[in-house]
Structure formats: C-alpha cells, structure tokens
Chain A
C-alpha cells in the first residue's frame, strides 16, 4: 500500500452547484502547499478517465455533491463501506460516473480506501459558473473538512506564505 493521498474534486463547473467539488480543490491549491505524497486533482466530469488517478492513490478523498434526501447545504461524510458499488450496463462510455470508476478499480486489484466529503446541492440544472449563495457559503467548511480528513489519514498541509 502506498502512502499517497489524493484529494479529488469532481463535478461540472458550468452547472452551478455541481461545480462545488472543483471550487473546493481550486481554493485548496491556491491557498495551501502540500507535500509530495499529497495530490490535489480537478477531476471534472472525466468519469472513466479518472481510473488512473484513482488507482494510483493509496487513500482517496473525494469532494463532490451528494444527493442524500437532505437540505441544500447539508454536509455529508461517506466512509468507504457506505459508498455503493455498482456498474450499470450502458450505451455510452460517457455515462461512467465516479462510483462506477471506483468499482471498475476492483479489476485493477486496488480500490483505494475512500472518503467522500459531499454537500447537498441547491441547483444542478442552471447553466452557470456560479455556485448558489447557500452552497458558496459552505466552501470554507468543506475545505476544513477535507483538510481534517487529510490529517486524519496522516497527510499534512501548510498555509501559503
């Protein structure tokens, strides 16, 4: 098991709150420095193209929106076993999502232990680069949660000087 920790933001920055995971990793990269074993990645909506990134991680922290029947702005933390595994038959390779990419990793004989830090979105439909105000207000908290998780996993960070 390698000691690399990957922080992976996923989502689509042009559909409002769907981009929150990306906004979090953008801010982390801008405001903090990380040691060589910590990788911060903007995974966008790359789906199956993230297999390489995922399978190279010793531990994985995913920042994303999570739909969990909660109120917009609720922050969820999903541990490894709580993340469902599934692969759906598909018509297009463009329908592979993160959960599916994680499951496909089984064939690579290495699924990194994963934590998802997610926030319940308000709006995933409007074509906009902006987060809704209530989700934008959660970005700081999501960053803190992510950094805490990083430390819990043995990683570290420093504020940019």
Chain B
C-alpha cells in the first residue's frame, strides 16, 4: 500500500471536489475524484412551463449562466420542433463565442497559470532582461520601466500579508521551471488579463440588456432586436477586436513560452480513453455545419458521429440506489438509504458516471481539438500543427495535461476568428432589412427533446420531456460530470482519475502536480454535483461564492 494523500477540498477553500491519490515510489498509483455536494435544480423544474426552464438553469452556476440557458432553449426548441431565424443563430453564436473568449483567458491566467508561474520568483527578476525576453517571445513587448512598476505592484500584493490575488501555498516549489524573468513577464500578463476580462464580460451585456445575466434568450430565438443598431454592433466589435488582439499577442505566445519550459508535461496527464465532442457553433440551420465538429474518438484517430442514444449514467460507485445505467431521458435520482460513507472501494461520490457506449469519455477543449483535427477542420489542424512544430513535438504530445491547455488556446483563436465573420453576416442581414430574430411557435401537449451544446468546459446536454404543456422530466449531464465522474460497474475510472495515474509527485505535502492536471480540465464543481440529503430528502445548496 502506497502513501495516500487527500486534497480535501483540493483548494483549501470551501469547495465540493475531493481528490484522493495514492502514491507509490513518487508516482500516483491510483486516484479518486469525489463530488461532495449536490445541485437539485432538475427536481425544481418538474411541473413548470418549459418556457421558464432557462431562467432557472442559468441560476445554477455563476459562470455557466448563458450556456445552461442556451442548452435549455435548444432542448425546448427540439421538443417543440421550432426552427430559429438566422439572426438568432448568429447572435447566439456571438454570445457563446464571447463566453469562450472570456472563460478561456480567465482560466489560463487566473486559475491555471499559477500552477506553472511562480509569482514570488518574479520579484527577483531583472527588469531589463525581462523587457528583452518580452521583445523576443511576446507579441506585446514592454519596457523595463513597465516591468519595474509591475514588480512594485506585485510586492505590494505579496507584502499585504495575504498575498493579495496570489495566495498559493506552493511558491518556491521545485516543480516551477520558469526563469525569474519569465515569471515576471507572465505575472504582468496576469494583471493585464484582469483588465481585459472586465471588458470581455461586457460583450454579453451588449446583446442582453444592461444586466449581466443574459436575458435575450427565449425559446424561438432572441429578444434583443432593439439592440441591433450599428452603434451596439460596433461596441461589440470593438471589444471583440481588443480581446482577439490579446489572444493573438499575449495568450498564445504565453502558452508557447510556458510549454517550452514544461515539455515533460506533454507525457503526463493524458487519458487513454474515449474523447467526445458534441461540437458547436452551427453555421447554417439549427445544427448544421458546425464550426467545431462533433464526433467521438473510440481509442483511435478515426472519429465517428455522435449517437446520443449511447449516452448513459452509471451509479454503481455513486451514492445512489443500485440500478442499471440509464439514458438521461430515463434518468432518476434515488439517493441511497442510510448513512453516506466515503469508501473508495465502494461508493465515494455524489456524481454519477456518464458513459458513451459504455466507455469513460473525456470532454472539453482537448476532445474538441482532437475530433476537429482528425475530422480535417482546416483551421484547427493548421494551428495544432503550428504549435507542435514550434515546440518540436509529435501528435502524441496532445494527449497530456499540456495538450489540454494548448487545445484551449487553439480553439479560442478559431472561435475568435469566426466571430468576425458572424458579425459581418449579421451587419449585412440588418442592412438588407432582415431584422427577424424570433420565430413564433405554439406549445405542443407532448414532446421530447434535447439540447446539445459544446461549451468552454465540454459537452453539455439538457434533456426535456414535456407532457400536458408542462415539464415532466428534465435532466442535464454537464461537462464536469463527464470528466470528474467516478469509476463504474465495470471498474472503468473517470477521465480525471485516469489522467492522474502515473503523475510524478516531488513532494507529497505539496502535490502541485496533481493540481496541474485537475486544473487543466477547468472543473466547474458547482455545476457538476447533484445532491440530496438522503435522511431528510432535502436538497442542499452548493454555494458558488
């Protein structure tokens, strides 16, 4: 038996994800991911008007508001056989695209970068050398005076007692490989990214009213026709341009710079499993000609089309009563009776284990990139090849923690470029007098449908069953459940569990290597976990804050 370390919660903050790893001879021998709490919105939806579902689902998570609302309206539109107008499709794509730009930048700089960048080391950097470095590698070089200022600001944070935004226990860890100058340059981009983030978030407000909650989505289209003035569209375009420049000049060069110091991480954190992408950004019709194609890679590099009938959720290792693996339309939630005991040999989580064709499947940027690459999506293929060539790596390098992180950057570029084309089409439609954004429809008595969506964190699906014009059953299977779900009845581990096995750990007391891989999945814990208190049948809250 190796030494066990438990990171509970992985963040040292009130959290709901527990990661347990067993270490033997300096490597992870086995791993378990456990969702410790629960979301019960699905039960709240039963009996309601399907048109209201998206108002509720968007309150389930503070970051994923828009994308849950989008899945929900797509599910109802599928059930009620509604075809939305072209302008509605474009505006939805633009808002979803804005979410990609925003979320991926924030993920890299404000969650993941600190796994690779030692901020404190940047304080001892030489500002002149840092300016030279930034000239060589960054598309947005800065002067030595600028870096001196950044150092002063960083030391204010660091000396404030709580390290300000940079509270991290692992500074000085031997796993950090960047030079002090590279650390300083990356830290300056952390600060720049906060400013950019505050702007990028406004893209949503432009077509969604002044409130930060997207309010323009409705079943049948969007309701922001009044916002489609040249001034509003220009405002959106300006922020898009600024964001895109940051991606091209800062984000991508930073990924390449960081990756060049950590090439060993192209052999760590991979996942010998199935990769699933629903695909997204329809360029025609409801679900046609997806910018990021859908597909499944079942252990080889030949993608097959997604068949949603093959999706099931297994509860063998989760705190639910025994039952067969079920399709989301038949999904049910029966917590075990009696005490819930965390036992990695038996049941250890509130998350169900989603499976595609019975297989544990990774979703998210890497899955999307691999499916796009192997489907011959030209832009993705060109960018992936460029990144691999720049770093002197082969395609195997993609199946790794660093591969996942690079994939996120690559699709930020691809989606960002497409947004420019969508803006142009929208403008020309409006100029030619086509301002239609909503398709009137009638509620059927009965209907079943689903809304698939490939969101920044991966494949998201909402399934709805309507009866008597009301919601009879509603289920969602979210990306973090695919990735962070547990083992199943056939003892197939979940993707994050698989990825952690084999990871070298320099210091079991400071397992930063575990965090690198878990963070590379961009977990959304609040969304991922369903829970009921089995004693009282009460639903408990996951506090996102």
Contacts and interface: CB of A to CB of B under 8 A. Distances in A.
Nearest to A48: B106
Interface in B76-113: 102-103, 106-107, 110-111
B511 to A, nearest CB: 13
Interface residues on A, range: 35 or more
Contact of A41 (B62, B198, B212, B545): B212
Interface of A: 12-15, 18, 39, 41-53, 55, 85-98, 103-104, 106-108, 124-127
B4 to A, nearest CB: 19
Contacts of A104: 165, 194
A129 to B, nearest CB: 8
Nearest to A10: B545
Given A52-B205, A103-B164, 5 more contacts: A87-B166, A91-B525, A96-B62, A107-B191, A127-B541
A92 B59 contact: no
B44 A14 contact: yes
B349 to A, nearest CB: 15
B141 interface: no
Contacts of B198: 51-52, 55, 108
Given A91-B17, A92-B525, A126-B538, A49 B63 contact: yes
Nearest to A41: B211
A44 B65 CA distance: 10
A92 B524 contact: yes
Contacts of B14: 95
Given A13-B59, A55-B198, A92-B17, A127 B11 contact: no
B545 A91 contact: no
Nearest to A125: B541
B490 interface: no
Interface in B478-530: 515, 518-519, 522-527
Nearest to B524: A94
A95 B213 contact: no
A52 B63 contact: no
B213 A46 contact: yes
B197 A88 contact: no
A107 B62 contact: no
Contacts of A94: 61-64, 524-527, 544
Nearest to A128: B44
Nearest to A25: B211
A98 B545 contact: yes
B10 interface: yes
Interface string B153-195: 1000100001111111100000000000000000000010011
A85 B163 CA distance: 11
Contacts of A18: 541
Nearest to B162: A86
Contacts of B111: 90-93
A57 B102 CA distance: 21
Contacts of B524: 92-94
A49 B12 contact: no
Contact of B213 (A42, A91, A108, A127): A42
A8 B477 CA distance: 32
Contact of B523 (A44, A89, A92, A107): A92
Contacts of B40: 127
B363 to A, nearest CB: 16
Contacts of A46: 62-63, 65, 212-213
